């Protein structure tokens, strides 16, 4: 029992149970990410109701998770007819629905299937819980977040400070790899990762690593570390050899992101997180010019993003990488916006 309590604390990074409790939905809850993520969320002291939605297998997943003796009430919802009930009164909606990569694919190769899935689900969010914070995991994140934004805009409910592309896994990986390299405990390491969530758009700011990388570290080794963080998703796809992409580390990363959101909503701010968000007039002085979406350090508060924080000083390698990513990131954003402009989903998931 003591061990379980400790696990709960570790999973939520946190202090004793809170009084403010929220309804949280996972859309795609029966998938490779959805299942372990739902399990971790069931241990969160901030969640009173956990809504597990998928187009397949949710009754089993919900029955299984509901037997855990932790606080959140769990309910499973199956198929589009049950989506409204899954979403009604939700404050946070996490979306890992969609297909994962196989070896040889890029994240953009998932666009044709996942763009429509995300559009349909966010249409339902706009109707049934328009004020909810929405965290998109489904790839390609660089495009699916702009799609979600366009859907919310069309419905007249877009709040840029409440829509997030989840890039926490890039931060988690950077922490793990730097810890390995410097021989530190990963929990004591922090590394900003900004930009987007695909290949060269993932920009770890290794010059701001805490603890710092050894000053004597050769440039080639820094470049190799940066490349490993950028290609870490592919490393997992190849290791899984056709059985999907990162699921367990992603579930951990998403649970950590959800925990930050729920702490901020509870007024336990200021909470600092990284996520891929829309640029606004207020963030124009800190986000690289010409990029309407960018993953930045954020200060979260009760209402969502309160401030997009500056990236801090970049070294020459990082500045070069930032310049190099711009065209790809902009192309992915445009692709998402154009897709959303084309018209309604073939089969809206209402």
Ligand X SMILES: NC(=O)C1=CN([C@@H]2O[C@H](COP(=O)(O)OP(=O)(O)OC[C@H]3O[C@@H](n4cnc5c(N)ncnc54)[C@H](O)[C@@H]3O)[C@@H](O)[C@H]2O)C=CC1
Ligand Y SMILES: O=C([O-])CC(=O)C(=O)O
Distance CA 120, CA 345 (A): 6
Smallest separation (angstroms) from ligand X to the CB of 71: 25
User: Which residue has 């929990």 as its token pair?
Assistant: 187
203 binds ligand Y (CB under 6 A): no
31: left (phi over 0), alpha (psi -120 to 50) or beta: beta
139 binds ligand Y (CB under 6 A): yes
Which listed residue (13, 67, 128, 197) is catalytic?
A: 197
Distance CA 241, CA 107 (A): 16
Smallest separation (angstroms) from ligand X to the CB of 243: 9
Q: Which residue from 36, 45, 76, 100 is in contact with ligand X, where contact means CB under 6 A? A: 100
The answer for residues whose C-beta is within 8 angstroms of residue 274's C-beta and 6 or more apart is 167, 168, 170, 171, 192, 193, 194, 295, 296, 297, 298
Smallest separation (angstroms) from ligand Y to the CB of 187: 21
Give per-residue burial for 22-32: e unless 16+ CB within 10 Å, then b: bbbbbbbbbbb
Q: Which is nearer to ligand X, 45 or 195 (CB)?
A: 195
Active site residue 13: no
User: What would the DSSP string read from start to end of 157-182?
Assistant: ---GGGEEE--HHHHHHHHHHHHHHH
Smallest separation (angstroms) from ligand X to the CB of 236: 8
Q: Which is nearer to ligand X, 177 or 268 (CB)?
A: 177
137 binds ligand X (CB under 6 A): yes
To the question of whether residue 34 is assigned a binding role by annotation, the answer is yes
DSSP annotation of 342 reads T
Of 36, 28, 33, the residue nearest 245 (C-alpha): 33
Enumerate residues 149-188 that contact ligand Y by CB under 6 A: 169
Distance CA 231, CA 54 (A): 29
The answer for residues whose C-beta is within 8 angstroms of residue 150's C-beta and 6 or more apart is 336, 337, 340, 341
Tell me the backbone φ, ψ of residue 325, rounded to 5 degrees: -85, -20
Binding mask 82-101 for ligand Y (x = CB under 6 A): ------------------xx
Enumerate residues 238-257 that contact ligand Y by CB under 6 A: 245-246
237 binds ligand Y (CB under 6 A): yes
110 binds ligand X (CB under 6 A): yes
Interface residues with ligand Y (CB under 6 A) are: 100-101, 107, 139, 169, 233-234, 236-237, 245-246
Interface residues with ligand X (CB under 6 A) are: 27-28, 30-34, 54-56, 96-101, 110, 114, 117, 120-121, 137-139, 141, 166, 169, 197, 244-247, 250, 349
Give the catalytic positions in this structure.
Answer: 197
């Amino acid at each position: 029992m003591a061990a379980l309590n400790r696990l709960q604390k570790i999973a939520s990074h946190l202090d004793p149970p809170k009084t403010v409790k929220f309804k949280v939905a996972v859309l795609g809850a029966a998938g490779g990410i959805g299942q372990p993520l739902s399990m971790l969320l069931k241990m969160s002291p901030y969640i009173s109701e956990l809504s597990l939605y998928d187009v397949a297998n949710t009754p089993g997943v919900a029955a299984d998770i509901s037997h855990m003796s932790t606080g959140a009430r769990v309910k499973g919802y199956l198929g589009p007819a049950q989506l409204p009930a899954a979403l009604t009164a939700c404050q946070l909606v996490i979306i890992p629905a969609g297909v994962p990569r196989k070896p040889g694919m890029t994240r953009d190769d998932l666009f044709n299937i996942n763009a429509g899935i995300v559009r349909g689900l966010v249409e339902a969010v706009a109707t049934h819980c328009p004020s909810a914070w929405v965290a998109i995991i489904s790839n390609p994140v660089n495009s699916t977040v702009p799609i979600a934004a366009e859907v919310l805009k069309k419905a007249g409910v877009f709040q840029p400070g409440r829509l997030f592309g989840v890039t926490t896994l890039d931060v988690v990986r950077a922490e793990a790899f730097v810890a390995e390299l410097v021989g530190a405990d990963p929990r004591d390491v922090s590394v900003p990762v900004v930009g987007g969530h695909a290949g060269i758009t993932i920009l770890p700011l290794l010059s701001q690593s805490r603890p710092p990388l050894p000053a004597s570290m050769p440039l080639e080794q820094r470049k190799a570390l940066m490349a490993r963080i950028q290609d870490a998703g592919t490393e997992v796809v190849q290791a899984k050899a056709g059985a999907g992409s990162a699921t367990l580390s992603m579930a951990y990363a998403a649970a950590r992101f959800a925990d930050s959101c729920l702490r901020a909503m509870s007024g336990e701010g200021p909470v600092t997180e990284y996520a891929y968000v829309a640029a606004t007039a207020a963030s124009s002085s800190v986000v690289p010019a010409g990029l309407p979406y960018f993953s930045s350090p954020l200060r979260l508060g009760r209402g969502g993003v309160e401030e997009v924080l500056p990236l801090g000083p970049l070294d020459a390698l990082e500045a070069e990488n930032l310049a190099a990513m711009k065209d790809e990131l902009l192309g992915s954003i445009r692709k998402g916006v154009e897709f959303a402009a084309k018209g309604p989903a073939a089969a809206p998931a209402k």
